[in-house]
Amino acid sequence: MQYKSQAVAKPYFIAAIALFVGQILFGLIMGLQYIIGDFLFPLIPFNVARMVHTNLLIVWLLFGFMGAAYYLIPEESERELHSPKLAMLMFWVFLVAGALTVVGYLAVPYASLAKMTGNDLLETMGREFLEQPLPTKIGIVIVALVFLFNISMTVLRGRKTSISLVMLAGLWGLAIFFLFSFVNPHNLVKDKFYWWWVVHLWVEGVWELILGAMLAFVLIKVTGVDREVIEKWLYSIIAMSLITGIIGTGHHYFWIGAPEYWQWWGSIFSALEPIPFFMMTVFAFNMVNRRRRDHPNRAAVLWALGTGVMAFLGAGVWGFLHTLSPVNYYTHGTQITAAHGHMAFYGAYAMVVMTMISYTMPLMRGRQANSNKSQVVEMWSFWLMTVSMVFITLFLTAAGILQVWLQRVATSPLSFMATQDQLMIFYWLRLASGVIFLLGLGLYIFSFFVGGDHAENSSQTS
């Protein structure tokens, strides 16, 4: 590490991976509940398992983003972090608040939790991904503001680079758009507008800035390509992301009672959304092919390349498959949506966080890269997780196509539950793929404990 305060990132990354494991475990519980309806009922009802699964996804990614910022911002700014103590304080506040929220989900009926936490004072609960009680939401805002103060002061007092400024813009956007989670109108159409301004403008807006900055940072370090070249690519990618992503929010307005013109605006700009992800894939491979050094951390390079490919497939290709209004009329709310969501979140955000962890963890442990044995194990974990996620996506896509046919197209359409019975083979296959994914994640964790001669002993590149 160039700066001691970069070590603050380490607990954030450890917490992120631990929460990632929790997310996958609850995903497997849900996978079994699709097949065995009363599995773990009433201990963990399906709606609670789903809530924990999706909330852990958001929280572990936020921990990953914060850890990445605490590592790359000091290095880009060429100065120590403004306040490492403040960063550690917020780490524990965020972790404890998150843990108490999950315990609340599991221990108390959701309606009772709403009464206990003051939802009658300001009604914010009950919406997908934003189920957090009011005190948790307020805590998230406080943690985000302190975090942003910390990194903003670091940037303002140090060197300004494209990477640090794009990262900062993405993180400020993340915090600002989360404020719409406090807006919950009684009118359902207006409610959906505000809800999508959090959910969509996070994952198809400002989070893409964070993704681009993190990927650019790692590629500069592992390839040695001129910063100017990488920064030009970064600006092009984020420009296309924002142009297509912001107006592309319209693909969520098709069926909520919004004006008819969103059928066109949503379809056209959503159809363009794969472009920045394709650019990201070309960017990653182009930089690695032009590299001026063979970095000893081969696993981090693999994760970086995988991020470009899987983000394009999950967010780009699978997003495009059902984004046009005439197609979405039949596919919305089916397993095709779930297929897109799984691969997009894994490819775009989970993988870039794991790229960052793969690159920085050895450095924070006093070596340039893990041992060759460790990297072989880590690369096995990459392939197990990535291939199993591809199969999860394919099985859900097949289930979704059959669901559309049986439930919405057939001359004698089946009911929702009757259709679900016909999809069981795909749910079993999805569950098996999920188990393999968990094994891959276990290998990823295990790789950091595998000994041997460290890679920097055989390569002195910097």
Tell me the mean pLDDT in the region 22-38.
97
With cut-offs at 50, 70 and 90, classify the pLDDT of residue 11.
very high
With cut-offs at 50, 70 and 90, classify the pLDDT of residue 460.
very low
Give residue 434's pLDDT: 98
Tell me the mean pLDDT in the region 2-26.
97
Query: Of 81-85, 309-313, 449-453, which gets the smallest average pLDDT?
Result: 449-453
With cut-offs at 50, 70 and 90, classify the pLDDT of residue 119.
very high
pLDDT at 15 over 50: yes
With cut-offs at 50, 70 and 90, classify the pLDDT of residue 458.
very low
With cut-offs at 50, 70 and 90, classify the pLDDT of residue 62.
very high
Give residue 452's pLDDT: 62
Chain centroid, CA 85 distance in Å? 27
Give residue 290's pLDDT: 85
With cut-offs at 50, 70 and 90, classify the pLDDT of residue 422.
very high
pLDDT at 218 over 80: yes
Give residue 455's pLDDT: 53
Please tell me the pTM assigned to this model: 0.95
Q: Are 90 and 151 in contact (CB under 8 A)?
A: no
Give residue 451's pLDDT: 73
pLDDT for 346-375, tens place per residue? Answer: 999 999 999 999 999 999 999 999 999 999
